[in-house]
Structure 1
Amino acid sequence: MKTILRNACIILLAASTLSCVTIRQGNVGVKRTLGKIDPDFMEPGARLYNIFATKIITVPVRTENIEVTLELPSKEGLNVKADISILYHIEKSKATEIVGEIGMDYESTIILPVFRASAADVTAKYMAKDMHTGNRFEIETAIKEQMMKIIGSRGFEIEAVLMKSIQLPQGLYKAIEEKLEAEQDAQRMEFILLKEKQEALRRTIEAEGIRDANQIISEGLTPQIIQYQTIEAYRELSKSPNAKLIIGNGQQPILLEP
């Protein structure tokens, strides 16, 4: 009986030191036992651990989004305010290293400082207007690549850097709008000039056609042909049942209705 009670006490004591944690999808578990990090990460699922000696740290490996607002320098020395999203995730195989070497505050410890330095380094090579036009994608890609050179080997995968909102200095906004309006006016004028040139070409071709036709007709109107057609006109008039008075010299008849 005493043995049974002793075993029961041992079981209850062991059970009281155990706890269960559930690692959800999109996360992995990192086990720390007596201050030492286990090199193998734990896949999603339920896990038992000793609450006095072990701690299970949940590390997200799904895509995370960091929203940042900062002022970026431009090539001409202006400061451009930007709202930027950084999309990243942690590689599963590097989760234990990140927890052991950097800690769970890795966003403020490494990702954001590297982003700020990379963004400033890249945008300083571009004019302020480039951040507001078609070069935005090029700038975003350059910042991402610069970040990956620094922290890619540490287990962080930068998926994208998205410049969502760009606020240029007010004077620069006006200058860009004026330039765009001038370019639109120039394009509109080019279209008008092209249309006028096409219309002028059409008229020239039409006039040349009329001239050539008249020239052909005039070259074919010999005196003999004119006389022949006059005779034919007399013949057709003679067939008419109506009474007519024709006065002419055989070349140019004049028709008078009685």
Structure 2
Amino acid sequence: MERLPKVAIPAIIAVIVLIIILAKSAVTVDSGKAGVLYKTFGGGVVTDEPALGEGFHVIAPWNKVYIYEVRQQEIFEKMSALSSNGLDIKLDASIWFQPEYENLGKLHQEKSEMYVERILLPAVRSAARSVVGRYTPEQLYSSKRDAIQAEIFEETKNYVDDQYIQLNDILVRDVTLPPTIKDAIERKLKQEQESLEYEFRLVTASKEAEKVIIEAQGKADANRILSASLTDKILQDKGIEATVKLSESSNSKVIVIGSGESGLPIILGNQ
């Protein structure tokens, strides 16, 4: 077996080293992500330049790149807080967020890759405890769900606005009360609903009765006015007019003038 020339060994070593250097220097940033460059001999984390965007990048082999997800992300959080009367309330929430792209270097330098656990989640928990403590269990269970969601979002946003985190929304998916309190609230709500339905029926019946009274009063007034206007003279004139019309009919008849009560004619005859 022939021995390799002496010059071949250093060449092979040089090729191996070159491959290692190229491997260390090549960085690919995937879709929806960005890279923070760390210069080992150049001041550490780069904060005054844009983060490395998607695609292929070549860096010095002694430097490092830390990859961050920069798309909107969602985390689910279960939290406990005390209501205004000291009862334990459990919340299930979804948190929508993403790091501020233009401040990614500062986020890495000051908060690290653990920014969600160190900054965001403690802020959400603190805001939830503060907001829930303003309301009773009944308010949290029924009418104030949207209100507490908005307030938790606003308070959390105030906490993280200067922490290089973009908070997009917080959704309260469920509010869990102690079983005995939940049952009591549901019974009370049912009773209130039944009371409202009863009051509605009473109001409806009252309006119907009022309508009947008004209609009856109208008819009575009309009859009274009509009776007051029908004098004996008017009735006699009406009778004479009717007699004249009957006398003009072709049917056989006998008309006795002045024989009826009040001097009205009496009509005798058959068809």
- Do these two structures clear the TM 0.5 threshold for a shared fold by scoring above it? yes
For residue 43 of structure 1, give the secondary structure of its aligned residue in structure 2: coil
- Equivalent position of 1:186 in the other structure: 195
CA distance in 2, matches of 1:185, 1:203: 27
Deviation, 1:144, is 2.1
8 A Cα contact 1:245 1:257, kept in partner: no
Change (3 A) 1:129 1:31: same
Deviation, 1:133, is 2.2
1:227 aligns to 2:271 (yes or no): no
8 A Cα contact 1:140 1:160, kept in partner: no
Map 1:10-89; keep pairs closer than 5 Å: 13-19=17-23, 20-34=26-40, 36-39=44-47, 40=49, 41-51=51-61, 53-89=62-98
Gaps of 5+ in 1: none
> Structure 2 length as normaliser, TM-score?
0.81
8 A Cα contact 1:94 1:154, kept in partner: no
Change (3 A) 1:69 1:177: same
Percent of pairs identical after alignment?
A: 29
> Structure 1 length as normaliser, TM-score?
0.85
Deviation, 1:64, is 1.1
8 A Cα contact 1:85 1:163, kept in partner: yes
8 A Cα contact 1:34 1:54, kept in partner: yes
Q: Which amino acid aligns with 1:127?
A: T
Change (3 A) 1:199 1:255: farther
Aligned length: 255
For residue 103 of structure 1, give the secondary structure of its aligned residue in structure 2: coil
Gaps of 5+ in 2: 1-8
- Out of 175, 185, 192, the residue aligned to residue 176 of structure 1 is 185
Change (3 A) 1:132 1:208: same
Map 1:1-258; keep pairs closer than 5 Å: 13-19=17-23, 20-34=26-40, 36-39=44-47, 40=49, 41-51=51-61, 53-244=62-253, 248-249=260-261, 250-251=263-264, 253=266
Q: Which amino acid aligns with 2:88?
A: N
Change (3 A) 1:257 1:168: farther
Deviation, 1:257, is 5.3
Tell me the alpha carbon deviations over residues 38-97 of structure 1, each in whole angstroms, 9 at most, x when there is no partner.
22321222112344x122111112111111112221111111122111111110122112
For residue 161 of structure 2, give the secondary structure of its aligned residue in structure 1: helix
